[in-house]
Structure 1
Amino acid sequence: MTAAKHIHTEDEPFVEAFGGWQERSILIVDDEPGMRSFLQRTLVGRCSRVEAVESVEDASVLLGLRHFDLIILDNSLPGKAGVDWLQEIRELGLHNDVVLITAFADLEIAIRALRAGAADFLLKPFRVNQILSAIGRCFDRTHLRRENFVLRRELDYHVDLGVDGLVGQSEALQPIRAAIKRLATVPSTVLITGESGTGKEIAARAMHYLSSRSGNHFVPVNCGAVAPDIIESELFGHVKGAFSGAASSREGLFFYAQGGTLFLDEVAELPLALQVKLLRVLEERKIRPVGAEREIPVDVRVIAATNRNVEEAVREGRFRQDLYYRLNVVQLHMPPLRKRIDDVPALASYFVRQLSQQLGVPPQELDSTLLASMTSYNWPGNVRELRNAIERWLILGSIPHLAPAKPSTQSDAHNGDESLDAIEKQHMLKILTETGGNKTEAARRLGVSRKTLERKCAEWGV
C-alpha cells in the first residue's frame, strides 16, 4: 500500500495525530543551527526522542544505531543534496518517513522528492503549525498503513479478534495465566510450546496486550505456511531489483511490528539458512532487507511457538541449537484440552455465543447429555477442534464423531500417552475416511493444519 504524498505550501490548522506522539522518534538533518534549534524546541516536548545533526554522514551513523519514525531533511546540505541522499537510503532499504524542507520553491525538486519517497514537502520559512501538521499526517498514514496490513493478515489467518485471553478456570490453566501476566511485564523472548490448537497464539496476544507495547501492533506469521523461497523477504522486506519480480521495495513484517510484537508461529518450520539470520536479528536487533547493503535497527519483541519437539529437532540437526537457546529464554507450555477438561463447558458456551453471532443463527442451549459427551472425549484437536465441533452443531444440530473415549484396558494402563496416541490416530483416520481421503477437508474438521495431518499420516505410514 503506497502512502499518499502531499506538497504543503499553505498555512493549515494543526491536528494532533491520532494514536499520540509520545512513543515517536524524529531525526532532524539540517546544517543551519537556528533551524535545528527551532525544530528541537518545537518537538522535544511532544515526542519520546528528538535528535539533530548537520550532515547526511552523521544522519547515516545514527540510522545505523537506532530506529527513527520520521526524518526532517533539509535539501540544501553541504556535500550532498537532501533529495539525493533520500534516494540513496531508499535504495538501501530504509523506509523511514521523510519530510523534505527547502528554501527554494523548485517544482523539479518537489517532484524528485516525491518520486524518491518523501511523504511531505515544506517551503522555508514555515510556521510551527505547518511542520506539526506535516508530521501528524506522516504519523497518521504510517499508523493506518500498518493497521490495515495487520488486519488483512488476521483475516487471512482467520484469527478471532474478539479473543483476548484464555477461557476457563481449571487448575491446569492457573499457572499459565500467572505466567502470561508476569511475562507481559518483561521484554524477554518467549517460546510457547504445546500441541496444535491449544491456544498458543492467544497466549502470545495476551502477553502483548498486557504489556507496554500494547499501543503498537501484534503481527503474527505462520512460518510453516510461507514458501521457503520468500520467507526471508516476508520477514525482513526487500529492495527494488533484489530478485526477479522485485519491481519495487517492500517492507517486511519486522517493519509492521516496529515497537510491538512479532509472533513466529511454527518457528521450527523455518529453513536452516533463515534460522541463522533470525538468530542475528535477535542478538543485534537489526534486520537486513533482501538485496540491501546495510542493516536497519528494529525495536520488536519476538514471541515464537511450535507444536514440535524442538529438542529432538536440534538433535537431528533440523533446528539450530544456538537459535533454540536464544528463543527459549523463557518457555511456556500450553496444556492440551484433555488436561483441562473442566474448561470444556465454559469454552463450549463461549463458542456458542461467539459463533451464533458470526453465523447469524440463534444461540442454543447446551444440554447435559451433550456436555457429558464433550467432557468424556479426549479432543485430540484441542480447543480448535472443540470450536469446529460447536460450529458444526450450530449448523447441523449434531456432532457425529463425538463419542466418549474408550477406557484404558489393563494392557495399556501402564502407558497413558500411547493410549492417547492410539485414540488420536483412530479419530484422525476415521475423519479422513469420512472425507474420502480429502486431507484439506479432514484437517478443517479436525481443527488442525493440513501440514499437521500430513505429518501424522507420514508417521503412521498412511
Structure 2
Amino acid sequence: MHCLQLSNIEFDMTAAKHIHPETDAPFVEAFGGWQDQSILIVDDEPGMRSFLQRTLEDRCSRVEAVDSVEAASVLLDSRHFDLIILDNSLPGKSGVEWLHEMRALGLHNDVVLITAFADLETAIHALRAGAADFLLKPFRVNQILSAIGRCFDRTHLRRENFILRRELDSHVDFGVDGLVGNSTALQPVRETIKRLATVSSTVLITGESGTGKEIAARAMHYLSSRSGNHFVPVNCGAVAPDIIESELFGHVKGAFSGAASSREGLFFYAQGGTLFLDEVAELPMAMQVKLLRVLEEKKIRPVGAEREIPVDVRVIAATNRNVEEAVQEGRFRQDLYYRLNVVQVHMPPLRERADDIPALAAYFVRQLAPQLGVPPQQPDNALLAAMVSHAWPGNVRELRNLIERWLILGNIPEIAIGSKSVAIDNGSDVSLQAIEKQHILKILGAADGNKTEAARRLGLSRKTLERKCAEWGV
C-alpha cells in the first residue's frame, strides 16, 4: 500500500481515504469545548453545508455557510472566523487557488480542506497554500470533529506558548485583584476597575512608572467576560519604530526584506481577549494614525496585505507621560487621545498611599523569600518607619527591589530609603539643603533627566527645578 505523509497530514493513496488514529467513540473537544469558536463553511453542495452546520452549530458560538469563495470573501471582510472548512471543488475557482490568494492578502485563519479527489499534486498544493488539515469525502462525523479539534488545539497551544513566553520575560505577578493594600487612595481605583471589567470600552491608565498600571489592566481583564482568552501586553517604547506595525498587526511573506514567511501580530494572539499597550505615548506618529483606524474600524491590515482582517480585541493603554501636554506639543494625536481616553484610571504614586507600604512589604517578603531560598523575615518598626517616610520615586517597583535586596543582604544601603536613613544610619547631622539636593537629584535621575516629569513628581514648577539645578551646576 502506497502512503503519502506531508507535515501532519497522512494519505493512503491506494484506498483514497484520509487516515488518522481515531475511533468511533464519542469525540470530546479539548480545552473545555468550542463554545467561543466560530466556523465558516464554504461548499457548493447544499447537503454538505447542511450536514456540517447541523454537526457544528451546537458545539460552536457561530457557524455560517456559503456556497462560493466570493461570498466567503465578503463575510471575512466583516467578521472574524476561527476556522474555515473549505471545499476544493468550487465553481470558477478551486479552494486551493482561493486559499493561495487569501494567504497572500493576509488571511491567517486555520483552514481544513475537504475534497472528493485525492492525489499527490492536490496534497502538495494544499500544504503550500497553508491548509492545516485535509479530509477526503465522504467522511464520518468523528473525522471532521477530529480535524477541527486538532486545528483548535494547535491554535490554542501556539497562543498559550506565546503568552507564557511573554509572561516569563515580563516577570509580572498578579492575583485575582492584583492590588495590595486598603489605603484611601487605592479604594476608588479598585471600584473603577470592577466597573470597567463589565464593559469592553477602551481605557487609558495613567500614573508614574512603577505604580502598577499593568496590574490594573490585568485585573480588568481577569474580572471580565474576556478572561477565558488571552491578555497580551506590549511595551510600545521597547519596540523599534520600524517593526512596531508588524509586531502589532503581523505581516505577509515578502512584505519587507527578511519577511521569509507570514507572521501573526499581537492583535491575533489577543483575539477575543485584551491587548495592553503600555507606554502608548511612545508610538511613532504614523503608527498612531493606524492604531486610531483599528480602534474605530475594528479591523487590522497586516504589513504587505491587501485586505483588512476583522478583530475582536479590547484595547487598554497606559502611559506615565502627560498626554495632554504631548497633544499640545504635537507629539501625540488629539483624536487618538480622545479615542483611548474613553475612561481614564489614574494609579496613585506610592507616596500617596503610604498606609499600604507595610502590607506591600509583607506581600513581597512572602513572594520573594521562597524564590531566593531565604527565611521570610519581616521588616522591624524602624525600617517600616523609614520606608513610610521615603518619597519612593520608583513607586511599588522600587519597594519590591528594596525588599529583595534586604532579604539577600540583610540590610539596606542608606541611599535606598532616602533622607531618613541618612540621619539614622550615619548618626550625624545632615543639612536640610543637602537632603533636598539628594532627593531632587534622585527624582531627576528616576525620570531619566526629564525635568518636566521630575518637576511634576516633586510638586515643583519646572522653572524652580531648573534654578536649583543651575545652582548645583547640574
What TM-score results when the alignment is normalised by the length of structure 1? 0.89
Measure the CA separation in 2 of the matches of 1:422 and 1:304. 35
Contact kept, 8 Å, 1:69 with 1:96, in 2: the verdict is: yes
**1:382 matches 2:389:** no
Measure the CA separation in 2 of the matches of 1:421 and 1:85. 70
Identity %: 82
Cα gap change, 1:281/1:424 in structure 2, threshold over 3 Å: closer, same or farther?
farther
- Identify the range of structure 1 (276-285 vs 108-117) with the bigger mean alpha-carbon deviation: 108-117
Unmatched 5+ residue regions in structure 2?
1-6, 11-17, 421-434, 455-465
Aligned to 1:332: 345
**1:358 matches 2:408:** no
The 5-angstrom pairing of residues 226-305 of structure 1 reads 226-305=239-318
TM superposition shift of 1:200: 0.3
Aligned to 2:133: 120
**1:425 matches 2:440:** yes
Tell me the SS of whatever aligns to 1:89.
helix
TM superposition shift of 1:12: 1.5
The 5-angstrom pairing of residues 6-405 of structure 1 reads 6-7=9-10, 8-10=18-20, 12-13=22-23, 14-160=27-173, 164-400=177-413, 401-403=415-417, 405=419
Measure the CA separation in 2 of the matches of 1:403 and 1:110. 67
- The residue identity in structure 1 corresponding to 2:234 is V
TM superposition shift of 1:423: 6.4
Measure the CA separation in 1 of the matches of 2:381 and 2:68. 74
Measure the CA separation in 1 of the matches of 2:171 and 2:67. 48
Tell me the SS of whatever aligns to 1:426.
helix
- Identify the range of structure 1 (161-170 vs 86-95) with the bigger mean alpha-carbon deviation: 161-170
Measure the CA separation in 2 of the matches of 1:122 and 1:334. 53
Measure the CA separation in 2 of the matches of 1:323 and 1:270. 11
Q: Per-residue displacement from partner, 1:246-305 (whole Å, max 9, x unpaired)? A: 111110000000000000000000000000000000000000001100100000000000
Tell me the SS of whatever aligns to 1:453.
coil
- The residue identity in structure 2 corresponding to 1:364 is Q
TM-align CA RMSD: 2.3
Measure the CA separation in 2 of the matches of 1:61 and 1:235. 24
Measure the CA separation in 1 of the matches of 2:97 and 2:81. 19
Contact kept, 8 Å, 2:176 with 2:223, in 1: the verdict is: no
Contact kept, 8 Å, 1:30 with 1:74, in 2: the verdict is: yes
**1:5 matches 2:8:** yes
- The residue identity in structure 2 corresponding to 1:12 is E
TM superposition shift of 1:112: 1.5
Cα gap change, 1:164/1:76 in structure 2, threshold over 3 Å: closer, same or farther?
same
What TM-score results when the alignment is normalised by the length of structure 2? 0.86
Aligned to 1:453: 448
Aligned to 1:415: none
Higher Rg: 2
Cα gap change, 1:423/1:282 in structure 2, threshold over 3 Å: closer, same or farther?
farther
Measure the CA separation in 1 of the matches of 2:319 and 2:453. 19
Q: Per-residue displacement from partner, 1:73-115 (whole Å, max 9, x unpaired)? A: 0000001110111111111111000000011121221121122
Q: Per-residue displacement from partner, 1:346-378 (whole Å, max 9, x unpaired)? A: 000000111112222221122111111111111
Contact kept, 8 Å, 1:380 with 1:424, in 2: the verdict is: no
Tell me the SS of whatever aligns to 1:152.
helix
Unmatched 5+ residue regions in structure 1?
407-419, 433-447
